[in-house]
Structure 1
Amino acid sequence: MIYRLLALVWFLQVLLSDTYAQTSGLPSISFRDFEIPNSPIIDSTSHAVIIIEKGKSDIQVDEAERELRVIHRYGVRIKILDKEGFKEANYVIPLYKIGNKFETVDEIHGYTHYIDGKIHTVKMDKGAIFHEKINEFVNLSKFTLPNIKENCIIDIEYEIKSPDIFNYRTWEYQDDIPKLYSEYTAIIPALYNYNVTLLGPYKLTDQKSKLLKDYFLLNGRRQDCSQLTYIMADIPAFHEESYMLAPKNYKSAINFELMQYYSTSGARQNLTKEWKDVDRELLTNRLFGGQINRENNFKHILSRIYTESDSDENKARKIYEYIKSQIRWNKVYGKYSQFGVKDALERRNGNVGDINLALISACAAAGIEVYPVLVSTRENGLPKTIHPVISDFNYLVAQVRVNGKNYFLDASEENLPFGLLPLRCINGSGRIIYSKKSSEWIRLENEIDAATHFDITGKIDETGQFKGKLRVIYKGLDALNHRNYIQKFSSLDSYIEERMNNSANMQIEDGNIYQLDSLDNDLIESYEISMDFTNSIRGKYFSFNPILMNRVTKNPFNLEERNYPVDLGSKKKETYSIAIHLPPDFDMEHQPENIALALPEAAARYTFRSQYVEGNLVLKQDLNLNKAIYEVEEYFHLKEFYSRIIQHQKVDFTFKKNKL
């Protein structure tokens, strides 16, 4: 494979040795740019608008490095409408590591334009540009434009040189602010065959193609290139909302993927592989299959991890805990090993690949059926399923098969129980790699629902003082998230103290946490609590709302139209029970009605039941989201479902005292 890539690089160096650059810049600033256009995509939520955005990509020879680079030129003109739009002047350019080299950015220019009788322009100083290394795979270039004020216009231009000669960058038409005009041009050598795909809900306004005759010199003969231009106008802002995958899965965009090229002899070279080719490359790769086969790293220590009397499942559980204790995650993702299993064990830290390849290798050494599973994390986007694109995957987990059950395992998370995946991994399907048969797609999902249960018991005296107990039980991803939150504190006492100090209407007087380190069990919090309802007493009337915790006050679904699914990561359940004894001689004057709400096909359900008998108020509330993913056509029903819950939870209980 490497020799084929080197041959392609040499070929393109010859191919493009006589090319010339074309720059697509922004037009000159004019008074007309300062006029706010009457457009349906600009509304009260718009704090800035992109007037024009232009980009162009082509391949050139880097003479200094004697290598090929894809040159991406970008220019954007943004009108700042109000103070909330000032953030658009804080600009970040991400630069990625491709192979062993980083992308670089050049020719960064920034201008601020404003009107004071005439158009004034302030150029950004070069000293305003800062470069930051995030990790060994990502660098950032940051800058802030000067003299920002309401109704000003900013221009930003730069050029990125990328060593990724096989793929032009995806051009995103949608952003978090509306765009009046967006244009992207790709100049592609005739010997290239790209798969060009339009993603998202919006269609192109215009599409142009032009043949660039004699664009480069090859073997003494001029050759051609295709100039492809894709235009979209009046593009609404993309609004992010709760419970969604990476925005790039849903934004309107043009994506380029190199499928094949032709050599100088005219022979066709395919870059699109079949999965059997990818499987073979992975399993023979030193940093993937080569690490799985390092069973000798573990065979001599297995007797210290488990006993022969253990079942295969118990062996797998103990190996899982052992790997978690031996290799700490360095917060770097990866489908390949960063250091190698042996070195990672010695260093006692490594990336996700190091950790989970060690887990797979150790399970294999124990004779347990185990396979690697390639994953694209939620923020990385959904992997393409039509044909193999190995670069789509940035993560690796394991699947263990014991006693007729399948368990997904990720040993990178300290607080993750056996058989549960973290939310970042719940992203469509992963690719499970077998050793003796073709790999296949496998749905990434957790068998255990995320669940939280609140239980409150207590007594309210005649002065409106409440004393009682609160018990909270967490399961699944809710337990993982809460364990991770507790771990941020220096001690358990510090966490409980924070609980005491930051419970707005509830006074926590004493508390304890149970099963914090028993990851396969529920996490339980228990507190002695008190509350003051004095202000709820009006003469002979007393009113209060018993939904004391996690009352839904804001609908998480507010869009008029949502063009992407609601993805919770897992089914969710929240139950709430309360038993309160009230003072004698209090009769129920008014109470929320008992209701049962449900979406079609029981996709979600909310029930509320209460009764008041002889001074005892007993209430039970259940909210069940019975699907991990709700499709676009279910959005309106889900939005209305939450609206009705909010309205119902606003209603107080009112009691009347018979004797004053």
Structure 2
Amino acid sequence: MMYRFLTLVWIFQVFFFHAHAQTNELPTISFRDFEIPNSPIVDSTSHAVVILEKGRSDIQVDESERELRVIHRYGVRIKILDKEGFDQANYIIPLYKIGNKFETVSQVKGYTHYIDGKIHTVEMDKGAVFHEKVNEFVNLSKFTLPNIAENCIIDIEYEIRSPDIFNYRTWKYQDDIPKLYSEYTAIIPAVYNYNVTLNGFYKLTDERSKLLKDHFLLNGRRFDCSQLTYIMEDIPAFHEESHMLAPKNYKSAINFELMQYYSTNGARQNLTKEWKDVDRELLNDRSFGGQINRENNFKHILPEILADGDSEEDKARKIYSYIKKQIKWNKIYGKYSQFGVKEALEKRNGNIGDINLALISACNAAGIETYPVLVSTRENGLPKTIHPVISDFNYLVAQVRMNGKSYFLDASEENLPFGLLPLRCINGNGRIIYSKKSSEWIKLENQVDASTHFDVFGKIDDTGQFKGKIRIFYEGLDALSRRNYIKKFSSLDAYIEERMNNSASMRIEDGKVYQLDSLDNTLMESYDINIDFSDNLREESFVFNPILINRMTKNPFNLEERNYPVDLGSKQRELYSISVRLPNGFNIERQPKNTALALPESAARYTYQSQYEEGSLILKQELSLNKAIYEVDEYFHLKEFYSRIIQHHKVDFAFTKQ
């Protein structure tokens, strides 16, 4: 990912200005707009293309509220290339709650243009816009443009009024369809000094700045203003692929963050703080540090759950188990406590902050060194590391330190074992907040690899019927994922029945699951199976592939170029141990070659070994991904690595009668 930093130097007072509203109308539609764009970014995978996109933001005074508002005007012209691009006409505008007020949208306009000898335009009815409340923080405005057809063009324009003057509004150059031209203009109030960052792979095509003399009238005086325009052209579509963090981490976009402003008396106010200031604020905050220090909440509880002679780890594990059972997660994230530790314990319900602050407080009460760790979840995006932005974090976990070891703990989920973080939390670095020294960045990672081991053994009789057993062993995140899936069923029997009903290639006759609730132990499934290979068995020959389950047939990496890392969340390992007894009298004629593949520096390894002796086929296969994150320059090698494995899996074993 590349960052550019642009410093805005225009600083002047603007608290009570009145700005002249300016519209951001799109140019008149022309026949030329209907021509298929001749651009390398538009190819057979493109179903629609943005011809032109323009945005403009400035700050105005809301006269009725006597408050500042950022006015965002937006216009986009999109050409629909085929039916798969029709969904571009289903438009959604998200509106966020800032403080105690929501953003509002107005002047929504939509037009559909098509050619029938001449250009016809159909305007969207004003009543087509409807509003939906998602939750207490997000509203949606939705509409669908009329008369959509292949090769039509749609125009969309609207205005958003936002109370968020601190971050302006992110301008997203890159999206899931290509864009020929995208232009954003920001008129920056001069009392404000914004840090402007451009993230993503693609660079700006052009930057323009203009001094607007006497642009605002304030208390009878006129002030200058800076107009900054950022242009990007020929922007390829962003293609999502397996094993990635939030797309917003990688899409080319420009962001504004208020760093400093001048008040009406001329005093400079700095909003960019140092971490020591944030640490102090957090530890003094009633909903954060105030909850950690509520050790009295556990004075009467600890003697009931701990025993004399318990080691520190015994104590930590018992407290972790107690908090998991005592406070059920209400599915709300948060770095702050929603109800407070005491009330959450009484209600037996709380958000992530309630749960993990209670865990930290209880461990501290037991004399165990434990600290809060601020986390930004994978879907929330990577936190900024250059300077503190507390709003980047939406989650909280604990770190326990004992006997020279450290463990990340999250007591929010029933099936999370001690020392394992859920995948949502594995997102770059977290910020650990100490009580007596400055906080620091800490890598969010699990010590246990995600691992699945398939153990298959059995016998094929003279009629081609295979009878045997499959055992599957799960560890790490693989075990967590499987336990969560199993627990969605009404009972273990219901899960096994679902396995029986959805195993198309084999018949499951009996099944058992072991150590489902023993979270610190390996999860195991065991099934008696029957597979009909009679179609493969001829009088003189027999062909089959012993990779009976989860055979790799599709490469998860298919992009020609991927400009963002492959993030697996943890190291991964997949093993197969197979032992199959064949009918009497067969010799091996063809088999996949024993092979060993490896990426540079053993970043990934694949081994395949088989042998056939005295009617028994023994096969061992292992795939080890020895890094949690593969960088952009490793992508081609990883893609080719998987392609070779898939080709290897296509080769069957062939046997002939003696």
TM-score category by the smaller chain? over 0.9
| 1:548 Cα deviation after fit | 0.9
Where do 1:2-401 residues align within 5 Å?
A: 15-401=15-401
| 1:13 Cα deviation after fit | 9.8
| 1:544 Cα deviation after fit | 0.5
Partner of 2:596: 596
Partner of 2:446: 446
The answer to whether the aligner puts 1:572 opposite 2:572 as a matched pair is yes
Partner of 1:8: none
Q: Unpaired runs of 5+ in structure 1?
A: 1-10
Note if contact 2:12-2:223 (Cα within 8 Å) is conserved in structure 1. Answer: no
The answer to whether the aligner puts 1:511 opposite 2:511 as a matched pair is yes
The superposition leaves residues 283-318 of structure 1 with CA deviations (integer Å, 9 ceiling, x where unpaired) of: 111111111111122211111222232111111111
Partner of 1:624: 624
Q: Unpaired runs of 5+ in structure 2?
A: 1-10
Distance in 2, Cα, partners of 1:99 & 1:339: 19
Match of 2:68, SS state, is strand
Distance in 2, Cα, partners of 1:308 & 1:46: 67
Distance in 2, Cα, partners of 1:511 & 1:237: 46
| 1:577 Cα deviation after fit | 0.9
Distance in 2, Cα, partners of 1:102 & 1:434: 35
Greater shift in the superposed pair: 94-103 or 353-362:
94-103
Where do 1:418-497 residues align within 5 Å?
A: 418-497=418-497
Note if contact 1:13-1:67 (Cα within 8 Å) is conserved in structure 2. Answer: no
Match of 1:524, SS state, is strand
Match of 1:175, SS state, is coil
Match of 1:525, SS state, is strand
Match of 1:50, SS state, is strand
Greater shift in the superposed pair: 324-333 or 470-479:
324-333
| 1:262 Cα deviation after fit | 2.0
The superposition leaves residues 422-447 of structure 1 with CA deviations (integer Å, 9 ceiling, x where unpaired) of: 11111110000001000000000000
The answer to whether the aligner puts 1:534 opposite 2:534 as a matched pair is yes
Distance in 1, Cα, partners of 2:217 & 2:295: 54
Greater shift in the superposed pair: 122-131 or 326-335:
122-131
Distance in 2, Cα, partners of 1:346 & 1:75: 52
Which amino acid is the alignment partner of residue 208 of structure 2?
K
Partner of 1:3: none
| 1:159 Cα deviation after fit | 1.8
Note if contact 1:12-1:68 (Cα within 8 Å) is conserved in structure 2. Answer: no
Greater shift in the superposed pair: 337-346 or 225-234:
337-346
Note if contact 2:279-2:433 (Cα within 8 Å) is conserved in structure 1. Answer: yes
| 1:197 Cα deviation after fit | 1.6
Partner of 1:642: 642
Match of 1:636, SS state, is helix
Partner of 2:4: none
| 1:543 Cα deviation after fit | 0.2
Which amino acid is the alignment partner of residue 298 of structure 1?
F
Where do 1:580-591 residues align within 5 Å?
A: 580-591=580-591
Greater shift in the superposed pair: 225-234 or 117-126:
117-126
Match of 1:15, SS state, is coil
Match of 1:424, SS state, is helix
Partner of 2:7: none
Distance in 1, Cα, partners of 2:107 & 2:424: 36
| 1:559 Cα deviation after fit | 1.1
Which amino acid is the alignment partner of residue 532 of structure 1?
D
How many residues align? The count is 648
Match of 2:580, SS state, is strand
The answer to whether the aligner puts 1:551 opposite 2:551 as a matched pair is yes
User: Cα 1:217–1:308, aligned 2, differ >3 Å: closer, same or farther?
Assistant: farther
Which amino acid is the alignment partner of residue 369 of structure 1?
E
Match of 1:181, SS state, is strand
| 1:73 Cα deviation after fit | 1.5
Distance in 2, Cα, partners of 1:646 & 1:378: 29
Distance in 1, Cα, partners of 2:500 & 2:544: 22
| 1:12 Cα deviation after fit | 10
Greater shift in the superposed pair: 158-167 or 49-58:
158-167
Match of 2:52, SS state, is strand
| 1:118 Cα deviation after fit | 2.2
Note if contact 1:114-1:152 (Cα within 8 Å) is conserved in structure 2. Answer: yes
Distance in 1, Cα, partners of 2:128 & 2:539: 65
Aligned Cα root-mean-square deviation (Å): 1.5
Partner of 2:8: none
Distance in 1, Cα, partners of 2:497 & 2:126: 48
User: Cα 1:13–1:145, aligned 2, differ >3 Å: closer, same or farther?
Assistant: farther
Which amino acid is the alignment partner of residue 486 of structure 1?
I
- TM-score, length-normalised on structure 1? 0.96
The superposition leaves residues 453-511 of structure 1 with CA deviations (integer Å, 9 ceiling, x where unpaired) of: 00011010111111100100000000011111111111111111111111120111110
Match of 1:339, SS state, is coil
The superposition leaves residues 168-221 of structure 1 with CA deviations (integer Å, 9 ceiling, x where unpaired) of: 112111111100010001110122111112212212111111111112223431
Match of 1:318, SS state, is helix
Partner of 2:416: 416
Greater shift in the superposed pair: 485-494 or 611-620:
485-494
Note if contact 2:14-2:191 (Cα within 8 Å) is conserved in structure 1. Answer: no
Distance in 2, Cα, partners of 1:459 & 1:126: 70
Distance in 1, Cα, partners of 2:66 & 2:347: 38
Distance in 1, Cα, partners of 2:622 & 2:480: 21
Distance in 2, Cα, partners of 1:147 & 1:329: 46
| 1:150 Cα deviation after fit | 1.0
| 1:14 Cα deviation after fit | 6.1
Note if contact 1:323-1:355 (Cα within 8 Å) is conserved in structure 2. Answer: yes
Distance in 2, Cα, partners of 1:534 & 1:340: 65
| 1:128 Cα deviation after fit | 3.0
Which amino acid is the alignment partner of residue 193 of structure 2?
N
Which amino acid is the alignment partner of residue 350 of structure 1?
G
Which amino acid is the alignment partner of residue 248 of structure 2?
K
Which amino acid is the alignment partner of residue 323 of structure 2?
I
- TM-score, length-normalised on structure 2? 0.96
The superposition leaves residues 528-571 of structure 1 with CA deviations (integer Å, 9 ceiling, x where unpaired) of: 10101111123311100111111111111111111111110000
Distance in 2, Cα, partners of 1:98 & 1:15: 19
Match of 1:434, SS state, is coil
Which amino acid is the alignment partner of residue 257 of structure 2?
E
Partner of 2:407: 407
The superposition leaves residues 318-362 of structure 1 with CA deviations (integer Å, 9 ceiling, x where unpaired) of: 111111112111211111112222222222222111111111111
| 1:102 Cα deviation after fit | 2.2
Match of 1:198, SS state, is strand
Partner of 2:615: 615
User: Cα 1:503–1:32, aligned 2, differ >3 Å: closer, same or farther?
Assistant: same
User: Cα 1:101–1:13, aligned 2, differ >3 Å: closer, same or farther?
Assistant: farther
Partner of 1:4: none
